[in-house]
Amino acid sequence: MKRILPLILMFSCILAHAQNNSLPYENTSVVKIKSLTPEIESALNAFDVNYLSCRSHACVPDVIVNKEAKNWLKDNGVSYETLVEDLKEKIDRENQYMNLMRSQRDGEAWYTIYRTYDEVQDKLEEIASSNSIATLINLGSSYENRAIRGIKFSTGGNNKPAVFFNGCQHAREWVTVMATTYLADQLSQNYTADSFIQNLLNIVDVYIIPIVNPDGYVYSHTTDRYWRKNRQPNPGSSYIGTDLNRNWDADWNGGQSTSTSPSSDVYVGSSPFSAYEANVVKNYMQSIPNLRGHLDIHSYSALVLGPWGYSNSQTPDHAEVVSLGNAMNDAITNTNGYPFTFGTGDANGALYLASGTMPDWTYDGLGALGYTYELRPNSASGGGFELPESQILDACEENYNGAMEMIIWAADIQSGCTDPSACNYNSNATVDDGSCAQIDECGDCGGNGPAPGYDCDGNCLTGETLNISMLDSYGDGWNGSNLVVNGISVTLNTGSSGSEVLCFDSSEGCVEVNVSEGSWPAEVSWTISDASGQELLSGGAPFTGEFNCDVQVSGCTDPSACNYNASAELDDGSCAELDECGDCGGDGPLPGYDCDGNIECGSGALLSIEMIDSYGDGWNGTDLIINGESFTFETGDNASASLCYDPSQGCVSVTATEGSYPTEVSWTISDASDQELISGGAPFTGEFNCVEPVSGCTNPDALNYNADAEVDDGSCEFTPVPDSQTIDLPEGWYTFSTYIEPINPSMDVVLAPVYNSLIIAKDGQGLAYLPNFDFNGIGDLNNGKGYLIKLSDASDLTISGTKLLPQDYQMEFNVGWNMFSYLRDSSGNLEQMLAPILNEIIIVKTFDGTAYLPEWNYNGIGDFIPGEGYQAKLTSSVTFYYPGN
Ligand SMILES: [Zn+2]
């Protein structure tokens, strides 16, 4: 026998991938029979029909029918409505959609398609590992040996109040698996973020089991989309499965919507808890010490049902059952405005009784309040068990809010505003529910201030008050008559009288009044009065008229003004011109913006930023940070923004933080011409505009001007304006020197300006330059030296080049005679100038014999003069520097 096992496993794998759970529904439709009599029901039973829900001996009239059954309905004139024409096609579409989307969806998007047993197990493990107070629990195994697992939230401690939530007793009720997994997921996430949830879970232990019928659930995915029962064989019958929710020991086999035939969808089993899974879950629930509440979550019908379900008698706890039931029903209904109904028993005949259900056992067997939820939709026409995927998250949120009411109830806390400074402070509240409010400007607690156009007393902010009094002589409202004043419509909905207040501007002239006829115009009458009670107009229905036509209309009377009012007779000084943005009377664009409201970047450039979220719920905490400026969006699938930057400043850093759902995030940064600069997702670190701007000399006047350079790097070079010195050379002999380092030091070039009068130039060694012979025996001018020169005529010698700094130019003297230069640009006392070497000096003299004789303490020279050269005789060779200029 054991050798068969691998074969079975292989076969079941093939089934799992084949997704042919639509096959049993080939050529079937879902119809709603307008009036389902026992006669029709028994006739239909011959055609192997499948009621989507049955209670007692009556079934809801939503029924899966094959072609023959449909023909029978037609032939026998039974009135019905087709809800689903081709059920197989519908199931196939659901499978296709799931296969298509499964690979693309994670994160929050987990709740946008129905998930398999294996996917739910992975999700439970993820939830348990991400939260310190969440534990993965295993209640036991199904008949086919699948784990029945869930999440337990507990902060520890003994005997704390506990609540138990489960989905999927019935295999085909797929949305219940999603809703219970979502409940665990959200409690886990909110526990870390929300102090109210933290407080609750510190008080209450919460158990959540998404799939208590794993075998049936897997079978509904692989083989039969509409399978309801478990997959346990029934001895002596070829029919498989027990209805888990008829197998509990509370009025078991009590005959209310039950069957003892294994072929039935409501088969009760051979005895209470004969179904493996019911027994496993029962044992676990019995081990919870202080279970206070239980939700058994089903679909579909949009109902909240309290105990008992098998009897119309009220439980001893009826008041509390109703109170909690209504609270949960309101919380669910208020979530998305999808209306649910609460009831117990058969809810005054609107529902049917049922025996052997789980919540009744919770109440009878464990003393906890056990409820049934029937999630969306409310009918087969809304999708039935195949609630559209787009509504899964709505159903999850509704179930979450309902379950929260039970947790709050079990915690037995008083929630409310705990902030003593709030206007709705509740001193009895122990847990803050986030409702704290402040007094608005009109003195209303939690109000939003006055309505637009009115002050806090309901008076008009501009213009005057019109009081409209409406009467209906029959006392049943105006039956469709509407009073329209200057385009604003009012009416009397009920009763014999009512009033409305409108605002109008009496300076604007005629006010038009129209009253439509309605169904009972003879009953209608009305009066319009001003604030002082003065009647302005009255009438009945239908009516067309006007009032306030005798005032002089004031306004702008200048036809050239943009607010010229052709009917104005009196100019009120309001005439205005168009501003530069084309707005009449506007003040032009805001500083920093252009007329379209776009940022103006001045010398910078505009970046446009496109942000996208593939799931469509905003960026969940991701921030895009560009050069330190942060961008994000909270809702929707995209947003855009602008930012100025300076392209010449090089790299722009871009980071995107991870947030909660980074795989949904993408973004693009473009320049003003829509050229993409950088794009990416989250998390991200990068930069753009890192092409170094070309640097160089940007001054067109410079020798090295670079036309491509964008940034001046200070390298510009210009033709230097040379320094120069002009020396007055006398006729005859003279000794000259210069503080200019000539551009070209060759003596013939230096003396070229005086060429015509120059006879000879000589240095201290007697070397000569003889222009008449074109002979330069001196070579280059040495700035440290003086030169003897003889001219035929007095001439100015201008020497151009670089001015020397005397304090940096080392003067060198030899023992004996030296012909030397004076390097300062102004006169200076000889003894001060030569102070460092005075002790070595025997004599200093000029070209004409004027002398300085230190031995005789005689200074006939006085000051050294710029341009002149001198001779000196020294006792030793020395070097020195002149003082600076
Ligand atoms: Zn169910």
Rounded Cα distance between 371 and 387, Å, is 22
Quick: pLDDT tens for 667-712: 999 988 888 889 999 999 999 888 777 888 888 888 888 888 888 8
Q: Taking a C-beta distance cutoff of 8 angstroms, is the pair 496, 471 a contact?
A: yes
Contacts 24+ apart (CB under 8 A), 489-493: none
Compute the distance from residue 142 Cα to the ligand 1 centre, in Å.
Answer: 18
Residue linked to tokens 């060694």: 765
pLDDT given at position 348: 65
Contacts 24+ apart (CB under 8 A), 717-722: 722/800, 722/801, 722/802
Rounded Cα distance between 176 and 111, Å, is 12
Amino acid at site 780: D
Choose among 193, 155, 112, 180: nearest CA to 402: 180
Q: Taking a C-beta distance cutoff of 8 angstroms, is the pair 609, 643 a contact?
A: yes
Amino acid at site 478: W
Which residue ranges make up each domain of the chain?
Answer: 2-90, 105-411, 464-547, 607-688, 723-880
Sign of the torsion formed by the C-alpha atoms of 382, 384, 390 and 393: positive
Q: Which fold has domain 2-90?
A: Alpha-Beta Plaits (3.30.70)
Hey, which bits of 496-584 come out as E strands?
Answer: 497-504, 511-515, 524-530, 535-539, 543-547, 554-555, 570-571
Q: Over 80: is that where the pLDDT of 452 sits?
A: no
Res. 60 pLDDT band, cuts 50 70 90: low
Amino acid at site 365: G
pLDDT given at position 350: 57
Cα–chain center distance at 866 = 79
Q: Over 60: is that where the pLDDT of 2 sits?
A: no
pLDDT above 70: percentage of residues in the chain: 95
**Helix, strand, or coil (residue 456):** coil
pLDDT given at position 5: 38
Cis? peptide before 377, omega within 30° of 0: yes
Compute the distance from residue 167 Cα to the ligand 1 centre, in Å.
Answer: 9
Res. 750 pLDDT band, cuts 50 70 90: very high
Rounded Cα distance between 799 and 866, Å, is 13
> Is 402 buried (19+), middle (13-18) or exposed (0-12) by CB count in 10 A?
buried
Question: What is the CB-side half-sphere exposure of residue 47 using CA atoms within 13 A?
Answer: 22
In this structure, the number of other CB atoms found within 10 A of the CB of residue 627 comes to: 15
Sign of the torsion formed by the C-alpha atoms of 72, 77, 80 and 81: positive
pLDDT given at position 55: 46
Compute the distance from residue 173 Cα to the ligand 1 centre, in Å.
Answer: 6
Quick: pLDDT tens for 576-610: 888 888 888 888 887 777 787 777 777 778 889 99
Largest CA distance in the chain: 158
Rounded Cα distance between 376 and 385, Å, is 9
Amino acid at site 598: N
Q: Taking a C-beta distance cutoff of 8 angstroms, is the pair 723, 740 a contact?
A: yes
Between the two ends of the chain, the Cα-to-Cα distance in Å is: 118
Residue linked to tokens 């009972």: 520
The bridge status of strand 869-874 relative to strand 554-555 is: unpaired
| Residues 6+ positions from 104 with CB-CB distance below 8 Å | none
Compute the distance from residue 282 Cα to the ligand 1 centre, in Å.
Answer: 17
Q: How far is CA 301 from CA 376, 395, 641, in A?
A: 6, 12, 45
Q: Taking a C-beta distance cutoff of 8 angstroms, is the pair 487, 513 a contact?
A: no
Rounded Cα distance between 190 and 467, Å, is 51
Tokens of 325: 């039931």
Catalytic position from the list 173, 374, 389, 523: 374
Q: Which residue has the higher pLDDT, 17 or 281?
A: 281
Compute the distance from residue 252 Cα to the ligand 1 centre, in Å.
Answer: 17
Compute the distance from residue 374 Cα to the ligand 1 centre, in Å.
Answer: 7
What Rg, from alpha-carbon coordinates, does the chain have? 51
Rounded Cα distance between 667 and 661, Å, is 14
Q: Which helix (H) or strand (E) holds 404?
A: helix 392-411
Compute the distance from residue 230 Cα to the ligand 1 centre, in Å.
Answer: 12
Cis? peptide before 359, omega within 30° of 0: no
Amino acid at site 312: N
Average of pLDDT values for 816-829?
A: 94
Residue linked to tokens 């000794």: 735
Q: Taking a C-beta distance cutoff of 8 angstroms, is the pair 719, 783 a contact?
A: no
| Residues 6+ positions from 122 with CB-CB distance below 8 Å | none
Q: Taking a C-beta distance cutoff of 8 angstroms, is the pair 295, 402 a contact?
A: yes
Amino acid at site 707: A
Q: How far is CA 394 from CA 167, 175, 194, 332, 401, in A?
A: 16, 11, 21, 10, 11
pLDDT given at position 107: 54
Residue linked to tokens 């940007």: 698
- Lowest-confidence range among 76-90, 329-343, 444-458, 695-709? 444-458
Compute the distance from residue 102 Cα to the ligand 1 centre, in Å.
Answer: 26
Q: Over 50: is that where the pLDDT of 835 sits?
A: yes
Amino acid at site 471: L
Compute the distance from residue 264 Cα to the ligand 1 centre, in Å.
Answer: 14
Sign of the torsion formed by the C-alpha atoms of 721, 723, 727 and 733: negative
**Helix, strand, or coil (residue 230):** coil
Quick: pLDDT tens for 339-372: 999 999 886 665 678 999 999 999 999 999 999 9
Quick: pLDDT tens for 283-313: 999 999 999 999 999 998 899 999 999 999 9
Choose among 610, 639, 625: nearest CA to 685: 625
Average of pLDDT values for 543-553?
A: 85
Q: How far is CA 750 from CA 182, 347, 721, 730, 753, in A?
A: 99, 125, 18, 17, 7
Average of pLDDT values for 418-428?
A: 87
- Average pLDDT score, the chain: 88
Which range scores top for mean pLDDT: 16-25, 135-144, 495-504, 513-522?
Answer: 135-144
Question: What is the CB-side half-sphere exposure of residue 134 using CA atoms within 13 A?
Answer: 27
pLDDT given at position 54: 53
Compute the distance from residue 16 Cα to the ligand 1 centre, in Å.
Answer: 23
pLDDT given at position 104: 61
Residue 517: active-site member: no
pLDDT given at position 245: 96
Res. 39 pLDDT band, cuts 50 70 90: confident
Q: Taking a C-beta distance cutoff of 8 angstroms, is the pair 304, 342 a contact?
A: yes
Which range scores top for mean pLDDT: 21-35, 65-79, 167-181, 693-707?
Answer: 167-181
| Residues 6+ positions from 264 with CB-CB distance below 8 Å | 243
pLDDT given at position 629: 87
Q: Over 60: is that where the pLDDT of 58 sits?
A: no
8-state DSSP, 409: H
Compute the distance from residue 291 Cα to the ligand 1 centre, in Å.
Answer: 22
Compute the distance from residue 483 Cα to the ligand 1 centre, in Å.
Answer: 52
> Is 787 buried (19+), middle (13-18) or exposed (0-12) by CB count in 10 A?
buried
- Go through 638-656 and write b for each residue having 16 or more CB atoms within 10 A of its CB, e for each that does not: ebebebbbebeeeebebbb
Sign of the torsion formed by the C-alpha atoms of 358, 363, 369 and 371: positive
Q: What are phi and psi of 473, to 5 degrees?
A: -70, -25
Give me the DSSP letters along 613-673: ESSSB--TT--EEETTEEE--SSBSEEEEEEEE-GGG--EEEEE---S-GGGEEEEEE-TT
Compute the distance from residue 397 Cα to the ligand 1 centre, in Å.
Answer: 19
Q: Which fold has domain 105-411?
A: Aminopeptidase (3.40.630)
Compute the distance from residue 117 Cα to the ligand 1 centre, in Å.
Answer: 18
Quick: pLDDT tens for 786-809: 999 999 999 999 999 999 999 999
**Helix, strand, or coil (residue 20):** coil
Q: What are phi and psi of 162, to 5 degrees?
A: -130, 150
pLDDT given at position 349: 67
Tokens of 20: 């042919």
